[in-house]
Amino acid sequence: MVIEKDFKDPRILQLKEEIKNLKLLLCQKETELSELLKPVAFSCCHGPSMKGASKEKLSATEISRYSRQMLIPKIGVKGQLKLKNSSVLIVGVGGLGCPAALYLAAAGVGCIGLVDHDCVEINNLHRQVLHSDVFLNQPKVDSAFAALRRLNEEVEFRTHKTQLSSSNATDIISSYDVIVDATDNAPTRFLLNDVCVFTKKPLVSGAALQTEGQLTVYNYENGPCYRCLFPKPPPPNSVKNCGDAGVLGTVPGVIGTLQAMEVIKILTENKGVLSGRLLTYDGLDASFRTFKIRDKSKTCAVCSESPTIKELIDYEQFCGSAANDKNPSINLLNPNERIHVERLAELLKTESENNTFIDVRSPEEFEMCSISKFVNVPINSLFFYNTSSEPLFTDLKLDTEKPVYVICRRGNDSQRAVQILKDLYSHLEIKDVIGGLHSWAKRVDNDFPVY
Ligand SMILES: Nc1ncnc2c1ncn2[C@@H]1O[C@H](COP(=O)(O)OP(=O)(O)OP(=O)(O)O)[C@@H](O)[C@H]1O
Ligand SMILES: [Zn+2]
């Protein structure tokens, strides 16, 4: 017989808290120790990152440590020394940045900078492999630093706990040799591109979503930059992110690791850098493809001979979207077309039979968690009905006289759905639930899963 443990037992909770604090203290002590062990001041990056170690030679320990990769003729002692004397900036310590940083630190890159403004969330842990439970709600750069330092104390790590923006990007980026774009939004991609063009740095760019990923290197040895390929930003909110579309952890694992590979090839001056080519990876199909992409554009706004953009601009304005807004909320409805979650709770308790409750999330999300009495009508199917003018409720056998309440994950799609439904069913009272299931979990049912 399996005896269920009571995970809310105060002794268990207290011990868990104590262990978490001890682990954090251990990290703090390890940081202090590594600072004391390496007392020589250094100024990142460009070479002097070895805290007093020789730049020209490898120590016996370094030879042992990196021997397996130094045995490769295209790396050798020369290549290892190049890595040791190099610096790499990883922008975004998420799904791509974690594996990229891990392999670059393991490979012995002399100085690694990490930029991220965000903190570790539980839904990061399935793919952001440097972070762990103990660092939940702690800055990602601190969590990554602790994990990387344990892996390789010889590397100098620099943490930039900030959002990269037009005002700080040039300062941060100019002291590194190669830049890794491991971010997830259009404004930051354009910013990184432009700053790399202006400061003449290669930009190793990756992306991963669901079960597919892609990779290329911009601004390398006269190759194209991001703007040569994408002169205009994508329509606002058209770029799907992992939080909405999902991602299998192994996919950014593959792409981030390939980003590290490109960095190593650039730093060791090896051939075959993925410039002017795009590599795509389809995880389900187990296929890699490499395509030639366009050459540097003669009319590129930043990298051509007569650029029209010569300094950093406001990239959020340019793209019409924010670089760090995880829950951008829209406001499409009048207050009388909306209810709060507390009112929804009352309706569900006392008048559930007299109302219709619709959840417009995808079937996958609905299966993960839902409020009882809600039926699933994914918003995509509403778009379909909207254009096909088929009656919506036939399959659902809903009583179309009853008021309808619409919910989604965060309260945006529910508003869009209300607008569509009102076009189709103008006689019905149709309202959305403000803040969606996130608000429900916060204000009504704290045990409801948040994702
Ligand atoms: N301008 C920026 N400056 C610093 N860090 C950035 C910037 N833009 C994005 N990032 C970081 O890049 C990382 C991208 O990671 P990832 O794509 O795995 O998604 P996430 O934001 O961590 O999670 P999810 O999309 O699932 O909510 C994030 O940690 C994010 O904070
Ligand atoms: Zn260009």
Measured in angstroms, how far is the CA atom of residue 230 from the centroid of ligand 2?
9
Which residue stretches of the chain have pLDDT < 50?
39, 41-43, 47-50, 394
Question: Tell me, what's the pLDDT at 425?
Answer: 82
User: CA–CA distance from 38 to each of 49, 54, 364 (Å)?
Assistant: 11, 13, 51
Q: What is the pLDDT of residues 390-405, one digit of tens each?
A: 555 545 555 568 899 9
Question: Tell me, what's the pLDDT at 49?
Answer: 45
- Identify the DSSP state of 49: G
Contact yes or no for 208/191 (Cβ under 8 A): no
Distance CA 372, CA 73 (A): 63
Question: Tell me, what's the pLDDT at 41?
Answer: 42
Question: Tell me, what's the pLDDT at 270?
Answer: 98
Binding residues for ATP: 95, 116, 123-127, 140, 184-185
Q: Which two tokens stand for residue 106?
A: 């393991």
Question: Tell me, what's the pLDDT at 3?
Answer: 60
Distance CA 207, CA 95 (A): 9
If one residue of 91, 96, 116, 194 were mutated to test the ligand 1 pocket, choosing by the most ligand atoms within 8 A of its CB, it would be 116
Q: Given the CA of residue 191, which atom of ligand 1 is nearest to it?
A: 1
Contact yes or no for 95/284 (Cβ under 8 A): no
Question: Tell me, what's the pLDDT at 7?
Answer: 72
419 backbone dihedrals φ, ψ, rounded to 5°? -60, -45
ipTM: 0.99
Q: Is the CB of 185 under 6 A from ligand 1?
A: yes
Half-sphere exposure of 259 (CA within 13 A, CB side): 36
The residues assigned a catalytic role are: 242, 408
